[in-house]
Structure 1
Amino acid sequence: MLDAILKYEDDLKAFRLPCLDGSYIPLHVLTLGSPGVSSDDPRSSQTQIPLATLVPPPLNPHSSSPIISLHPLRSLLPVPPPFTPPSDPSHILEPSTQVELASRKPHCDRKIDNNHLRPNVRAIDRLKEWASPYAIQQKAALSEHIPQHILDSAHAIVVEGWAAQTKTSYAAGLLRWHQFCDKENIPEQRRMPASETLLAGFVGMHAGLVSGSTIRSWLSGIRAWHILNQAPWPEKSNFLSVARRAANIRGSHHRRPRRNPITLQHLLALRLALDFSSPFHCAFLRKRPSIQTAMSLAQALSQTIFFDRTDDG
């Protein structure tokens, strides 16, 4: 903080304190040969003088220069406003009942038309917060003969059936699905339940632009959205299955290149890195016959590496 306030003058070799009118008052003159001051770099950490030792020189009352009033140093620092607790904290919801809004602007290719059915929530919350006319009608029909708290409990437990990372990845599928429907002017009533023809068209519009595994993940997100809202899904559609297969072929250039095969040196390095006091490490080695074979071959051929058979059984 002292470095941000004091100004060092090279010609005077002195620190100056800023005043409110923009001028600086000299505080202390440094002698480069004095103890504790580096003669090589007067701006080094050794030249930082404690504030208590900085005494401004006396002002000459007969000087013709105007007298500048010196304010306390702390008056130059911003003072944070006092914290006022809320008078009525009853309106604050529990963290588990709040839906956190997205705090960042979406990426240019992730924008979606403003709609009350799809609030601006985090990706992990899209699966449960994004609705459709079918989902609203389904909940209204069920609430006529099932208590609301039972419906909420059933909805909450089904949402927990997907891991947090899975729900986050499924959110991309919901986003791409509604972007596709908005672009093609598909009405809300046709988006859920989605027909196999519309889903196959969605696959065809993105085939080749992304990998087949990406399209498969998007479809999984749309399917999970249907399951959560109890909407029918074309599970056994051969029409959609063939479309997905074609997307895998067309998007094959997006696949990562094949890696080099695992060599004996890789297996030896893995064997040396395993900790056989851990049951997981023991099971990892035991379940891979190729590693066991390589270890036996290395033990037979190598004269410098010796493996104790009692370590891995």
Structure 2
Amino acid sequence: MRVFISQPPLPRKPRSESPSPILNPPQSPPPASPHASPPPSDIILSPSSHSALDLFCPIQPSPDISENLHVIRSLAARSLPPCSPRKPRPADAWRPSPLRPIVPADRRVLLWTTPHSEQAQQSLDSTISPRLQRKIFENLLLATSDSTRQSYGVGLLRFTQFCDREEISENLRMPASTILLSAFIADAIGTCTGNCIRNWLNGLRLWHLYNLTDWHGRDRWVSSLQKAADIQGVPFKRPPRGPITKDHLRHLHSNLNFATPAHAAIWAAALAAFWGCRRLGELLLRLRSSFSPTRNVTRQANFSHSIVNGHHVISFHLPWTKTTGTRGGDCILTATNDMFCPVTAMLHHLSLNNITDPSAPLFAFRDGTSWSPLTRDHFLKTTGNIYRSANLDAVLGHSYRIGGSLHLLMTGVAPEFIMKIGGWTSLCFFIYWRRLELVIPAAVTRAWAARQREFAERQHLPNGEDDLLFDLNS
């Protein structure tokens, strides 16, 4: 197997103090020796392979422990959807090491190890069977979403690059001391936002958790430096994501062909995300290969229908949401009886894309004699092209959720009901409010009008402005 590692920044120490290994990518694989150890990728993937850690690590691990470490974790990683690692970009390169094989970013918290991982493995081997160890790691992976583990994998990468530059010993990288974590934060301050650094630390914390070791990320130095990172990171903050508006939806409607199965699915998903105030990840697949019945809504979803105040209402259960996990939540759509009606769009999609496979994703569409899932990227690419052609504000996945909540606020729906519609469980709901210069005056004037009506009713006074007019000369 060919391994491609680009040249990372040179270490800051002189070569005379600590010679750096050769980092240039090999042009062709070296000739195999019958007695040579397998490449790092084989160590991870082949249960029968022997470890090459004794060639690289300052601590000589037991071959049996090392093999258990890699085999058990690699078997646990197979519980995740299949995903191939990509060749690292130059900015994402790290020093070659069998401790850190090239794997997808969302697997790094499990498959990147340190000498301390051997101690953790020894504790596991002395207590429970390999079968139970594998089940533990599989369920630890299940406790975090793929996207969360992927972003945490970036934190491990940045920490590894920092330690490589500073020639930090492998033995000191885990458990990372307060001093090492503080140095890592201080080195990153002024290069990104405080939230970015905080997310890197969250990844390191999870990595430490997987390896049964202490975490010093709550010490006072670390906390103080995170505050400094927030201050110095202000220039790197991105502007708030804009909302989807009725203008966006109007142009989307006029540029889709609703006789086309894919377009019918896109329109139904757009209105479900907008009126249901839902994340796209709760409605659509991230990748074609990432389908999971415990996370993705399917054609087996139990739809309920009702009539409320003359409006058709449909709801269906989401098996997973970001805030409730596998408890899921309900997507509730109320008919608007206009071109933006989510109920009409959903019923048209289900009728046109009449897929009999009950395991098909809800927004799958007919594709020839078979069907294809509507992925998040496909949805955003199609809709984004339409919005750009109309010179509308650029939008991202969360823009539908933001736009829907903003529209409901502007039309007078109480915030607590919007929180229930979108599945918010905390006050972070307020982070998504946009255009406060419109939302707040609208709410204030509605409150004034309501108080005026209440006073008029109590005093048996006229309730309309026209009824209050009178002639001063009479």
TM-score, structure 2 as length reference: 0.37
Shift of 1:295: 11
How many residue pairs get aligned? The number is: 201
Shift of 1:101: 7.6
Give the equivalent residue in structure 1 for 2:415.
288
CA distance in 1, matches of 2:444, 2:231: 39
CA distance in 1, matches of 2:112, 2:220: 28
Q: Is 1:146 matched up with 2:273?
A: no
Shift of 1:235: 4.6
SS at match of 2:176: coil
Give 1:202's match in structure 2, choosing from 169, 184, 187.
184
Q: Which has the larger radius of gyration?
A: 1
SS at match of 2:227: helix
Shift of 1:200: 0.9
Q: Amino acid of the residue matched to residue 224 of structure 1? A: L
**For the Cα contact (< 8 Å) 2:85–2:102, is it kept in 1?**
no
Q: Amino acid of the residue matched to residue 288 of structure 1? A: P
Closer, same or farther: CA 107–250 of 1 in aligned 2, 3 Å: same
Q: Is 1:191 matched up with 2:160?
A: no
Q: Amino acid of the residue matched to residue 133 of structure 2? A: L
Q: Amino acid of the residue matched to residue 190 of structure 1? A: L
**For the Cα contact (< 8 Å) 1:99–1:121, is it kept in 2?**
no
Give the equivalent residue in structure 1 for 2:209.
227
CA distance in 1, matches of 2:93, 2:239: 32
CA distance in 2, matches of 1:258, 1:167: 24
**For the Cα contact (< 8 Å) 1:211–1:247, is it kept in 2?**
yes
Shift of 1:257: 4.0
**For the Cα contact (< 8 Å) 2:106–2:153, is it kept in 1?**
yes
Gaps of 5+ in 1: 1-90, 301-313
**For the Cα contact (< 8 Å) 1:193–1:231, is it kept in 2?**
yes
Q: Amino acid of the residue matched to residue 177 of structure 2? A: S
CA distance in 2, matches of 1:150, 1:240: 35
Of all paired residues, the percent bearing the same amino acid is 31
CA distance in 2, matches of 1:157, 1:130: 18
**For the Cα contact (< 8 Å) 1:127–1:171, is it kept in 2?**
yes
**For the Cα contact (< 8 Å) 2:86–2:104, is it kept in 1?**
no
Shift of 1:293: 5.7
Q: Is 1:238 matched up with 2:220?
A: yes
Shift of 1:147: 1.5
Give the equivalent residue in structure 2 for 1:173.
155
SS at match of 1:174: helix
CA RMSD of superposed structures (Å): 3.8
**For the Cα contact (< 8 Å) 2:106–2:150, is it kept in 1?**
yes
Give the equivalent residue in structure 2 for 1:21.
none
Give the equivalent residue in structure 2 for 1:214.
196
Bigger relative contact order (CA 8 A; separation at least 6) = 2
Shift of 1:274: 4.2
Shift of 1:109: 0.7
CA distance in 2, matches of 1:152, 1:238: 36
SS at match of 2:86: coil
Closer, same or farther: CA 164–111 of 1 in aligned 2, 3 Å: same
TM-score, structure 1 as length reference: 0.55
Shift of 1:104: 3.1
**For the Cα contact (< 8 Å) 1:100–1:122, is it kept in 2?**
no
Listed one character per residue, the Cα deviations across residues 237-286 of structure 1 (whole Å, up to 9, x for unaligned) are 111000001011011111134689x9xx99xx99xx74862563579644
Listed one character per residue, the Cα deviations across residues 114-146 of structure 1 (whole Å, up to 9, x for unaligned) are 101111111121111111111121111221232
**For the Cα contact (< 8 Å) 2:178–2:217, is it kept in 1?**
no
Listed one character per residue, the Cα deviations across residues 275-306 of structure 1 (whole Å, up to 9, x for unaligned) are 86256357964442769965985xx8xxxxxx
CA distance in 2, matches of 1:158, 1:98: 11
Superposition pairs for residues 28-39 of structure 1, below 5 Å? none
Q: Amino acid of the residue matched to residue 157 of structure 1? A: N
Closer, same or farther: CA 278–181 of 1 in aligned 2, 3 Å: same
Closer, same or farther: CA 247–295 of 1 in aligned 2, 3 Å: closer
SS at match of 1:137: helix
Q: Amino acid of the residue matched to residue 205 of structure 2? A: R
Q: Amino acid of the residue matched to residue 215 of structure 1? A: I
Listed one character per residue, the Cα deviations across residues 189-213 of structure 1 (whole Å, up to 9, x for unaligned) are 1111001111011011010111111
